[in-house]
Amino acid sequence: MDIRKAIVSRIAIIYFFLLLFGLVVIFKMVSVQKIKNERWEQIAKNLEENTVIVKPNRGNICAGDGSVLATSVPGYYVRIDLAAEGVKRVFRDENDSLAHYLANFFRDMPKSEYKRRLNEAYKSGNRGFMLTPRKVDYQELQKIKKFPILRRGRFGGGMLIEQENKRVNPLGTLALRTIGDLNKGAYGGVHGHIGYTGLEGAYEQYLKGVDGISYRENLSGRWITRIEIEPQNGMDVITTIDLKLQDIAESALMKQLQATGADWGTTILMEVKTGEVKAVSNLGKENGIYVENYNYALGHAGCYEPGSTFKLISLMVALEDGLIDTSTVFNTGNGVWKYKGRTIYDSDYRYGGHGEMTVKQIFEKSSNVGVAKIITSCYENKPKDYVNRIYNFGLNKPLGLEIQGEGKPFFKYPGDNDWWGTTLAWMSYGYETKMTPLQILTFYNAVANDGSMVKPRFVKEIRDNGVLVRQVKTEVLNPMIVSKETLGKAKKMLEGVCEYGTGRSLRNEWFRIAGKTGTAQIAVGVGGYQKGMYLASFVGYFPADDPQYSLIVTVNNPRGGLYYGGSVAGPVFSEIAERVYASRQLHENEQEQDDDEEKYSLPEIKKGNVENIYRVANELGIKDLSGLPLLSDSKVKKADRQNIPADNSVMGKVPDVRGMGPSEAVFMLEKAGLRVRLQGTGKVKTQSQEPGSKLVRGSYIYVKLG
Amino acid sequence: MEITQSKIFKGDRVLWIVLMLLSLLSLLIVYSSTGALAYRQASGNTWYFLIRQVFFLGAGFGLMLVMVNFLSVRIYSVLANLLIYISIGLLLVTTILKFAGLLQGTGRTLDLGFISFQPAELAKISLIMYTARVLGKNQGTRGQLKKAFIKIISHTVVICGLIFLSNFSTAALLFATIFTMMFAGRISLKYLFIVILLGMTIVAGAYIAADRFPDAPARIHTVKGRIDRFIKGDPNSEKGITQADYAKLAIYEGGIFGKGPGHSNVSNYMASAYNDFIFAIIVEEYGLIIGIMVMFLYLIFFFRSVVIVRRATRTFPAFLVTGLTVLLVYQAMINIGVSTGVLPVTGQPLPWISLGGSSLLFTSVAFGCILSVSYQNQINRETQKPAVQVNMPDEDYEMHK
C-alpha cells in the first residue's frame, strides 16, 4: 500500500474523531447555556458570598512627636478545618492531647468538655471549628500554633487564623475625646471599625485604608482563601498634640476639678501663630471620678453663655467704632443698675461698688454695670451696628472644624423675636449668647496674634508609612479683626487684668500673662439662672510681651464656695502657663545643647511590660528597639500619668516634683523659694526634702534624676 | 491550491492567518482575564501582562520566521537524536531536585538562572521529532516497523514516566500524541492494542494504589481525586463552587453573543482564568459563536496540516507535521473540553492564546517546524529542486504517488 495514502487516511480517521469531539463540545456548551439555569443563577449569587473583604490595618493617630495616641492591635481567633485530609490522618491520635492543651491554656472548660466538642465537630465534618473561646493576642497565637494537630500548619493541620484588630489608646485617657473613637457596629463591638467621633471620625478617610479582596475557592477539594487584592493600610494622622504639654494641662485641670468637685472642666492650649492645639483636655465627672467623656472644648454641651470673657469683644466693638477710648470714664455707681426694669449687679456690689472708672478699669475689675452702660450708651439706638461688628469678627459662625459635632455659636439679632429691650445690655457682658470654649479662645488668640484670626487645628500632617502625604496648613479665618490701635488697647486691658484686676493672682515674676476672668451664672432650661451654679473660666495668652500660647480654662459648676473665674480657673491657668513656659525654656535649651541626640530618638513608649513594648515596637516597625537595653524601671513612669498630689503647690510646703522633667522641677522648686541641686539625667526620681514637709525658704533641696 | 508566496511569511498562508487570528484573540483575552492576576503579581498594573504577551508573541513570530527562512527540515531529524537525551537528562535533574526538596512549587519548572522553563515542554517536541525520525526511517518492512515501535515505546515510557511524576495531564497528552503518530505511522494495530491495555492497567493500578498506599506520590492522589470527581460529581459542589463551576458559569453567562470584550467578571474569581480555563472566558466575553469559531480555527489548522502531510515528499516531515499538529490540537481540545466540562479538570493551556512565557516559545517552534515543511513542499512543487541550505544524506523514505 502506498505510504502516503495510508498515512493520510489514518490521519483522516483522527480528524473525524476530533470533529466528533468538537460536536460534543458544542452540544455541551449549548446545554450549559440552555439547561440548568437555576443552578448557574445560584452560583452567580454565591460568587458574591465567596468574596471576602480583607480589612486593612487602620492608621495610627500620633502626637506631634510621633508617640502613638491610638493604634490598632491585632487580635486573633483560631479555627480548625476538621475535614481537611491532613487532620483526618492524625485526629484519632492527637485529639486527646489537643483537648488537653486547650483546656490548660484557656482554663474555661475541663479537658473532657473540649474533647467532647472536638469529637462532635469532627463527626459532623466541621470545616471551621472555633478553638479559641476568646480573642487571643499575638504572643498567645504563637503558643497555640504549636499545639498538637495545629502545629502542622494550615494545610497539614487545618489551622485557620482570623485576625480582628482592636483599637487601643496606649497613653490611656490622654486627650481621648479629641482623638475620638470608632463606632461599635451592629454587634456591639468588633464589627464597626469606622471612625466616629473626634479625629478618628474626622480623618476616617485617611485612617481607614483601602479594603483588599480575597476569594474563597475550592481547589482540588480544599477550601482556600486567596488574597486577590492586597489591602492598603491606613495612613497615620500626626496631631498637633504635644504630649508633655498635654500632660501638664490635663493634670492641672484634674487637680482643680477634684478640689472643687465641679461637673466638668476643659482646657485648651493653642499655639498663637499657627492655631495648633498643643493640648486639649476634657474631663467630666462620672460616678465621682473624672474621665474624658465629652468634648466640652468644642461640642454642643460645652456651648455656654461665656459671661465676662465676652466683655473683651463688646469693648473692642465700641473701641473699633471710635465711640469710646480706654480712658473714657463711666460711672458704675454702687455696682447695681436698674435698666429697663431689670437689674444688673456687679459681682462685688456688696462692697459698695467702684463709682467712676475708666473703660480700662471697668474691664480690669470686670464690672457688669460698667460694660452694660458703655454698650447701651453707645448702641441703644443702633443695636444692629453692635451685632454686625460681632458678626464681622466671624464669631457667629462655627469654626468649621474637621471634628464633627462642633457647637454652634448663638447670637441674637435686633428684630428677632427673642431680641428683648434688655438683650443688648445683657449681651454686652456675655449673656443671651452662646459660644464654645474653643470659639472664645480663637478670638483671644486672634488678639494675641496681632489681629489675625487663625482656625484652630488638631492635625499637623498625614503620613503614609512615614511618607508625608498631606501637610495641614494654618488657615486664616479673618486676617485682621480690628485696627492696630484697637488691638493695642485690647492687649493693654488684658494685661491690666492680671496686673491690677481680677486676674492679679496669676502674676508671677518670670513672665506676664494677659487674660480675662469669666464667671457666668449657668442658665438651666428656660427657667432662668440657677443660684449657685457658675461657669468659671479664664482665657488669655502668655507671655504677654511676645505671645506664644493662648489658653482657656473652663470649669463648670464648681462647688464648695469658690466660683469666680479668677479663683477657680485662674490657678489652673497659671499652673499650666508656668509649667508650659518652663518646659519651653527646657526645650529651647535642649535644642541648643544637644542637637545630635535627635537621631537616636525613639517615640516615647510609656508603661507596659517589656514584652508588650517589644511587640508594639515591632508592629510599628521600630526595629531598633529590641537591640536597646530596656531599663528595669522602663516599666512604669510613675508620676507620668498620675495627678500631682493636691498639696503640691500649697504655700509653705515643699512641692512634689517627682516625675517632672528637670527644668519644670527647678522652676517649681525655685518658685517655692528653694535652692535646687540636680544630679543625674532624666526625670525626677527622688527629692531630698519630703513633699509636703515644711518649707524653709532658701534651703537647699537635692534632686536625683534617673 | 495556488497561493502566491510571501517573501517573508513563507509556508502555508492559511496557517499564518490562523496564527494571526489566534494572536489577536490572545491579546484581547489575556488583557481582560489577567485583571485579577495583575493585582496579585504586578501591583495592579493591568498593562503588565498584555505587554508581556505582546513580547512573547512577537518573539514567537520571530522564531518561526527564522525557522521558515533559514533552517532546513532535515536539521530537525539530526537534532532529534540529540534533543531527546538532553530532555531526558533535564527531566531527571528536575525530578531529583524535586525529591531532594530543592524545587519549589509543583516541581515542573527548572530555573537555569538566565531562563526558567518546563523541561516537559522541550521533551514534548524532542520526543515527537524523535518519533517522526524513527517512524520515517523504518517504513520499509514489517520488521522495521516493529523495531520502530520498540524504540519509540521505550523512549516514550521513560519520558512520559518522568513527566507523570509532576504533571499527569502533560504525560497523558504526550502519550496520546505519540500513540496517534504510531497509528498514522502504520504501526501494527496489534501492538497499539497491547499499549492501550497496558495503559489502562497502569491507570487502574494507580487508582487502586492510591487507596492502598496513602504515602504514594501526591500526583497519584490528585489523579484519583479528579477521576472520582469527574465520575461521581464533586462532593464540594454542594457546599460551594469549584473551578469547573466557574467555567460553566462563564459559558452560561456568555450566551450566544457574549458580554463584550473586557466584561468578564467570572475571571476575577478563577485562579487560572488566563490559563487552564481561558476558553470559558472567551465564551463569556465573545459568546458561543466566537467560541465555536475558535475551536474551528484549531480544526482548520489540523486540516491544513493534513494538506501539508499529503503534499510532503518524504516521510520524516510528514510524521513531524502529524505529531506536532496532533500535540497542539489535542492540547487545545483538552483545554476546550475541560473548560466546557466535557473532560475532567486538568491544566493544559490553550496553545497560542493562553498567557504564556517560555511555553509559548516552544509552541512557536512547533509551528515553525510545520511551516518549514509546508515551505519545503512549495519549493519542491515549484522548482523540483532539493532544498538549498544544507546538503545532507536522506535517511528517510520518499513517498510515492
Judged against a pLDDT cut of 70, whether residue A602 lies above it is answered with no
Q: Measure the CA–CA gap between B252 and B287, rounded to whole angstroms.
A: 9
The CATH number of whichever domain residue A324 belongs to comes to 3.40.710.10
Domain co-membership, A329 together with A437? yes
More confident residue, A340 or B229: A340
Strand partners for B117: B110
A/B interface, count of CB pairs below 8 Å: 146
Neighbours of A291 (CB within 10 A): 14
Where does a domain end: B200, B233, B266? B233
> Is A189 part of a structural domain of the chain?
no
> Is A46 part of a structural domain of the chain?
no
| Residue A223 φ then ψ, to 5° | -80, 125
Domain co-membership, A320 together with A461? yes
The CATH number of whichever domain residue A640 belongs to comes to 3.30.10.20
Binary contact (A25, B342; C-beta < 8 A): yes
- Among A41-45, A399-403, B230-234, top mean pLDDT goes to A399-403
- Among A375-384, A650-659, B37-46, B259-268, top mean pLDDT goes to A375-384
More confident residue, A559 or A156: A559
Q: How far is CA A580 from the centre of its chain?
A: 19
Give residue-wise pLDDT tens across range A336-381. 999 888 888 888 888 888 889 999 999 998 999 999 999 999 998 9
Report the gap between the CA of B374 and the closest CA in chain A (Å): 15
Report the gap between the CA of A101 and the closest CA in chain B (Å): 29
Residue A664 sits at the vertex; the CA angle it makes with A660 and A665, to the nearest 5 degrees, is 65
Amino acid present at A40: W
Where does a domain end: A191, A220, A236? A236
Residue B77 sits at the vertex; the CA angle it makes with B73 and B78, to the nearest 5 degrees, is 115
Domain co-membership, B227 together with B252? no
Question: Which residue from B minimizes the CA distance to A7?
Answer: B184
Judged against a pLDDT cut of 80, whether residue A650 lies above it is answered with no
Domain co-membership, A140 together with A249? no
> Is B123 part of a structural domain of the chain?
yes
Residue B304 touches chain A, beta carbons under 8 Å: no
Contact map slice: B 141-160 vs A, CB within 8 A: none
Domain co-membership, A563 together with A520? yes
Domain co-membership, B247 together with B385? yes
Binary contact (A221, B326; C-beta < 8 A): no
Judged against a pLDDT cut of 70, whether residue B34 lies above it is answered with no
Give residue-wise pLDDT tens across range A7-17. 889 999 999 99
Q: Measure the CA–CA gap between B52 and B57, rounded to whole angstroms.
A: 9
Domain co-membership, B277 together with B162? no
pLDDT mean over A616-631: 50
Domain co-membership, B379 together with B309? yes
Q: Measure the CA–CA gap between A77 and A95, rounded to whole angstroms.
A: 19
Binary contact (B269, A37; C-beta < 8 A): no
Residues of B in contact with A33 (CB under 8 A): 251-252, 254-256, 288
Binary contact (B243, A218; C-beta < 8 A): yes
Q: With bands split at pLDDT 50, 70 and 90, how would you rate the model's confidence at A689? A: confident
- Among A171-185, A522-536, B130-144, top mean pLDDT goes to B130-144
Question: Which residue from B minimizes the CA distance to A29?
Answer: B340
Residues of B in contact with A219 (CB under 8 A): 243, 271
DSSP-derived pairing of the beta strands A700-705 and B110-111: unpaired
> Is B119 part of a structural domain of the chain?
yes
Residues of A in contact with B235 (CB under 8 A): 221
| Residue B299 φ then ψ, to 5° | -70, -35
> Is A330 part of a structural domain of the chain?
yes
Q: Is the pTM of this model over 0.80?
A: no
Contact map slice: B 372-401 vs A, CB within 8 A: 397, 399-401
Judged against a pLDDT cut of 80, whether residue A215 lies above it is answered with no
Report the gap between the CA of A216 and the closest CA in chain B (Å): 9
Binary contact (A10, B184; C-beta < 8 A): yes
Give residue-wise pLDDT tens across range A14-45. 999 999 999 999 999 998 888 766 767 776 76
Residue A183 sits at the vertex; the CA angle it makes with A179 and A187, to the nearest 5 degrees, is 150
Residues of B in contact with A32 (CB under 8 A): 248, 251-252, 340-341
Judged against a pLDDT cut of 60, whether residue B296 lies above it is answered with yes
Domain co-membership, B43 together with B99? no
The shortest CB-CB distance from B337 to any of A25, A215, A226 is to A25
Domain co-membership, A571 together with A694? no
Question: Which residue from B minimizes the CA distance to A3?
Answer: B399
Q: CB–CB of A368/A344 below 8 Å?
A: yes
Where does a domain end: B208, B233, B258? B233
Binary contact (A228, B326; C-beta < 8 A): no
Domain co-membership, B293 together with B343? yes
Residues of B in contact with A16 (CB under 8 A): none
Span of A50-64, A422-436, B1-15, B121-135 with lowest mean pLDDT = B1-15
Domain co-membership, B62 together with B46? yes
Neighbours of B322 (CB within 10 A): 32
Kindly list the distances between the CA atom of residue B293 and the CA atoms of B18, B287, B302, in Å, as whole numbers in the listed order: 11, 10, 14
Domain co-membership, B203 together with B249? no
Substitution target in A32, A82, A229 with the highest count of B β-carbons within 10 Å is: A32
Domain co-membership, A350 together with A384? yes
Domain co-membership, A309 together with A257? yes
Task: List strand residue ranges (DSSP E) for B219-358, in order.
Answer: none
Binary contact (B340, A32; C-beta < 8 A): yes
Domain co-membership, A270 together with A357? yes
Dmax over Cα atoms in chain A, in whole Å? 141
Q: CB–CB of A433/A408 below 8 Å?
A: no
> Is A198 part of a structural domain of the chain?
no
Closest CA to A578 of A494, A489, A672: A672
Domain co-membership, A350 together with A498? yes
Instruction: Specify the number of domains making up chain B.
Output: 2
The shortest CB-CB distance from A221 to any of B236, B255, B341 is to B236
Domain co-membership, A440 together with A513? yes
Q: With bands split at pLDDT 50, 70 and 90, how would you rate the model's confidence at A143? A: confident
Residues 6+ apart with CB under 8 A from B101: none
Domain co-membership, B119 together with B241? no
User: What is the per-residue pLDDT for B205?
Assistant: 80
> Is A66 part of a structural domain of the chain?
yes
Residues 6+ apart with CB under 8 A from A523: A305, A529, A530
> Is B291 part of a structural domain of the chain?
yes
> Is B6 part of a structural domain of the chain?
yes
Judged against a pLDDT cut of 60, whether residue A191 lies above it is answered with no
Domain co-membership, B258 together with B366? yes
Judged against a pLDDT cut of 60, whether residue B8 lies above it is answered with yes
User: What is the per-residue pLDDT for A704?
Assistant: 76
Map residue B365 onto helix, strand or coil: helix
Q: Measure the CA–CA gap between A380 and A389, rounded to whole angstroms.
A: 15
What is the sign of the dihedral through the CA atoms of A611, A612, A615 and A617?
A: negative
Judged against a pLDDT cut of 60, whether residue A593 lies above it is answered with no
> Is B386 part of a structural domain of the chain?
yes
Domain limits for position B396: 1-70+237-401
Q: CB–CB of B390/B72 below 8 Å?
A: yes
> Is B48 part of a structural domain of the chain?
yes
What is the sign of the dihedral through the CA atoms of B75, B80, B86 and B87?
A: positive
Question: Which residue from B minimizes the CA distance to A85?
Answer: B214
Q: Measure the CA–CA gap between A642 and A454, rounded to whole angstroms.
A: 33
> Is B75 part of a structural domain of the chain?
no
b (16+ CB within 10 A) / e for B248-272: bbbbbbbeeebbeeeebebbbbbbb
Report the gap between the CA of A49 and the closest CA in chain B (Å): 10
Instruction: Specify the number of domains making up chain A.
Output: 4
Q: CB–CB of A395/A439 below 8 Å?
A: yes
Where does a domain end: B218, B233, B248? B233
Domain co-membership, B157 together with B253? no
> Is A609 part of a structural domain of the chain?
yes
Domain co-membership, A577 together with A691? no
Domain limits for position A284: 244-587
> Is B203 part of a structural domain of the chain?
yes
Domain co-membership, B173 together with B111? yes
Residues of B in contact with A29 (CB under 8 A): 251, 283, 288, 291-292, 340
The CATH number of whichever domain residue A165 belongs to comes to 3.90.1310.10
Domain co-membership, A447 together with A471? yes
All 3 cell numbers of residue A672? 517655692
Span of A451-465, A615-629, B163-177 with lowest mean pLDDT = A615-629
Residues of A in contact with B342 (CB under 8 A): 21, 24-25, 28
User: What is the per-residue pLDDT for B131?
Assistant: 94
> Is A308 part of a structural domain of the chain?
yes
> Is A164 part of a structural domain of the chain?
yes
Kindly list the distances between the CA atom of residue A114 and the CA atoms of A105, A118, A119, A159, B325, in Å, as whole numbers in the listed order: 12, 6, 9, 17, 61
